[in-house]
Structure 1
């Protein structure tokens, strides 16, 4: 049954959004293809917050035990009379999901992957994480209300946290490589241009860290400027993520473009997270709209 403490304890050990972001950062550092972001941080948290005790028993508890996976699809769907139709491609970790949270207009629905009218076609993202093409045709869904923005904001912060881990570890690997790789009998980390590139990357990583923690704290505290903080964090996660990923490849030279080299995994992950839930330009436009509405 629904526990009053459950929404703030997802992930175990009393984990709230800030703690979940710490987990996501470590997932990013390991570039681990695990569905923690959509299944725990977004879907299970939403069901615990807005669902009934029956939904918690059926979905949330099995997810926390690792017995089920939930995926989230936020665009491309319509609903009429509680039935959902539409299509979204590249739904993260949807290929093996047991259920989906699907956004349609001003309502979010929980859809069982085993229901009639659900088509799931496995796909693979640029960094080899699992995804799917999700197609729904008049599928019955359980309404959770108008929580689309809640899901997007929470998911966006989670993307930023994961990107932090990716770029942080990519910079560590690149700095270590620059300290041992020699050209002209000198380590390349001693060259001014390389040092400056690494220093810029360090500042970018710290900018992602600061803005992500600020956004996560404001969102978990229901601060009035949380939406602006989230857009700011995602701008840095996208823009800085792009720069750090390219720095890692450039400093590594030829091995940086070798798909069998570990640094390529970080490059591919950073590029996917750069665009997931809105790239840099989209975030600036969102931030501008939010600020323009203020008196």
Structure 2
């Protein structure tokens, strides 16, 4: 099936708006300062991105107050968020939670979608960030009757920024106010995407969907999330390569730019090819999700199998080729390396997705 890997004019305009906003209000110094506090999210920046630009409602139909766009536009936003390692709950709220609610197709879910699309609420699914498409869903939360929920789930991303939690229980999917849960912060590798253990002890939830509908909705959300995460990984790799090339043009040794040495040129050329290939894989996954292609699961697995490793590899080279300054806390390279490493575990490891590729292609697993 032919894929459209090119960016449309509308997508480029969206990119320009998001990049301009992040350049103005999400520079590396600001990100570092907020990350050190343990609560990196910037509510004012989120309001501008979500409501001002309308990015939060890209996947929400117009009849529910959204933009009625598709995964291609959401991929562009995530690409720019990756370039800035922006500490915003876009992947968790505007992609994962939104996709789950869209799969519920109930009046209660529709009401919550309207709030998400307007940017007035942040909603986060209470699922481990490492949960992969095709993996068994956790059964950690129990309903003791009437939507009274108890249980604990670890490694929940962006829970500290949430107004509403989507809780997967044994009797279905529930919306629970974040204030009704106990959040215990965990020490994350990526300080820009905080993790927490969410504990519910008799919390009251509003039923959104029955168990069968919930399982199907969560499975679809994990697939979309993994596919769009590849675009975030692409953004990380693009920034790292651009910054490294720029640095090596100005850094001199033996009265010559470091970037002019043949061995360094070869390393940069390999990285450029890696990033170009990652862009093709990420765009193919986004287009497959947007068009509802039958082979979307394969395109997503291919994208994650490739983009995950590229982001880590380019970020590692960024740190190393920057020399001493790349090893310091003041330089933002470590933020990108940590985000790349954390993303390589999010929504399925490279090994998991390679196994899926082998299954879809009916080949022996690696």
**Normalised by the shorter chain, which TM-score bucket?**
0.7 to 0.9
User: What is the CA-CA distance between 1:141 and the residue it aligns to?
Assistant: 5.3
> Partner residue of 1:74?
127
> Partner residue of 1:125?
188
CA distance in 2, matches of 1:173, 1:115: 41
TM-score (norm 1): 0.87
The yes-or-no answer on 1:253 pairing with 2:342 is no
CA distance in 1, matches of 2:116, 2:164: 10
- Provide Cα deviations, 1:104-140, integer angstroms capped at 9, x if missing partner: 57x8623313475x32223453231233211234654
User: What is the CA-CA distance between 1:288 and the residue it aligns to?
Assistant: 1.7
* Residue 115 to residue 13, structure 1, CA distance change in 2 (3 Å): closer
CA distance in 1, matches of 2:262, 2:172: 53
> Partner residue of 1:99?
164
2:268 to 179, 191, 198: 198
> Partner residue of 1:231?
301
Aligned length: 287
TM-score (norm 2): 0.71
User: What is the CA-CA distance between 1:179 and the residue it aligns to?
Assistant: 0.7
> Partner residue of 1:157?
227
**Segment of structure 1 superposing worse, 136-145 or 163-172:** 136-145
**Segment of structure 1 superposing worse, 59-68 or 121-130:** 121-130
The yes-or-no answer on 1:288 pairing with 2:354 is no
1:55 to 105, 109, 115: 109
> Partner residue of 1:64?
117
Gaps of 5+ in 2: 1-57, 129-137
8 Å CA contact retained: 1:101, 1:108: no
CA distance in 1, matches of 2:263, 2:154: 41
- Provide Cα deviations, 1:31-70, integer angstroms capped at 9, x if missing partner: 110111111112123323433233322x222222222111
**Segment of structure 1 superposing worse, 37-46 or 182-191:** 37-46
8 Å CA contact retained: 2:109, 2:208: no
User: What is the CA-CA distance between 1:231 and the residue it aligns to?
Assistant: 0.7
**Segment of structure 1 superposing worse, 37-46 or 171-180:** 37-46
- Provide Cα deviations, 1:50-100, integer angstroms capped at 9, x if missing partner: 33233322x222222222111123354344566655433221111131222
> Partner residue of 2:82?
28
User: What is the CA-CA distance between 1:24 and the residue it aligns to?
Assistant: 0.8
**Segment of structure 1 superposing worse, 40-49 or 14-23:** 40-49
User: What is the CA-CA distance between 1:276 and the residue it aligns to?
Assistant: 0.9
Instruction: Identify, as 1 or 2, the structure richer in strand.
Output: 1
> Partner residue of 2:280?
210
8 Å CA contact retained: 2:305, 2:353: yes
8 Å CA contact retained: 2:182, 2:200: yes
**Segment of structure 1 superposing worse, 77-86 or 169-178:** 77-86
